[in-house]
Amino acid sequence: MQLMLPENIVLSYKGPITTSLISGLSQEIQTKFKDNPRINRKLTSIYMELAQNIFYYSVEIDHFGEDDKVGMIIVSQNTESFYLITGNLIETNQGNFLKEQAEKINSLDMEGLRKYRLEIVESPINPQSKGAGVGLIKSCLVSENPVGVDIQIIDEHLSFYTIIIKIKK
């Protein structure tokens, strides 16, 4: 997938993703979009899921201080849509799984996605999981658009995982 560069950046962050940063940026989004309740609600709810995904799954660690996970969060817009873009390092051997997960999500219609979410939530497999995949399903449902996923292999160990969610204005 070709990454489209955002035309107009509303918010951009790269660095340690901590719990206080997650709630802080959420406040920032809500302040910026306070005059547009629909976009505000959708962006905030998708942002929360994807920011938590970075918090749980990024393999890039900032060793300054608290060993925080590192990731990137961008909100941008063009004339038609808002975009929420997140990026973080993953292990290269996770790449295929994440690609297949996105393909599966994009292959389902709304009804199918809703059923699939319940299936995953109720699945006893991998009780350690904080709900990986479910956040992406929610993002797809709330944005009413396919999820864009891009994986750039850096080397045999590390890849950069980007998620792009589009919300029509």
Partner 1 sequence: MENLYIEGAKGEFYTPLVSLTVSTGICEVSGESYLEYTGEFYAQITQWIRNYAQEVKKGIIFNFRLSYFNTSSFKALLGVLKVLKEYRNQGGEVDINWFYPPDDEDILREAQDLAEGAAVEMNYIEQNF
Residue numbers at the binding site for partner 1 (CB under 8 A): 19-20, 23, 37-38, 41-42, 44-45, 48-49, 52, 114, 117-118, 121-122, 130-131, 134-135, 138, 141-142
Exposed / middle / buried, residue 163 (Cβ in 10 Å: 0-12, 13-18, 19+): buried
**What's the burial of 165, exposed, middle or buried (CB within 10 Å: 0-12/13-18/19+)?**
buried
Give the whole-angstrom CA distance, residue 95 versus residue 109. Answer: 24
Shortest distance, position 107 Cβ to partner 1, whole Å: 19
Least CB distance to partner 1 at residue 39 (A): 12
Which is closer to partner 1, CB of 38 or CB of 169? 38
Which one, 44 or 77, has the nearer CB to partner 1?
44
Residue 35 carries which DSSP code? T
Residues, the chain, total? 169
Give least dist CB 61 to partner 1, A. Answer: 20
Least Å distance, CB 86 to partner 1, is: 15
Question: Which of 133/159 has CB closer to partner 1?
Answer: 133
Minimum separation from the CB atom of position 47 to partner 1 (A): 11
Which of 92, 145 has the CB closer to partner 1?
A: 145
Q: Is 104 left (phi over 0), alpha (psi -120 to 50) or beta?
A: alpha
Which residue lies nearer to partner 1 by CB, 58 or 159? 58
- Write the secondary structure of 56-93 as one string of H (helix), E (strand) and C (coil): HHCCCEECCCCCEEEEEEEEEECCCEEEEEEEEEEEHH
Q: What residue type is 113 in one-letter code?
A: L
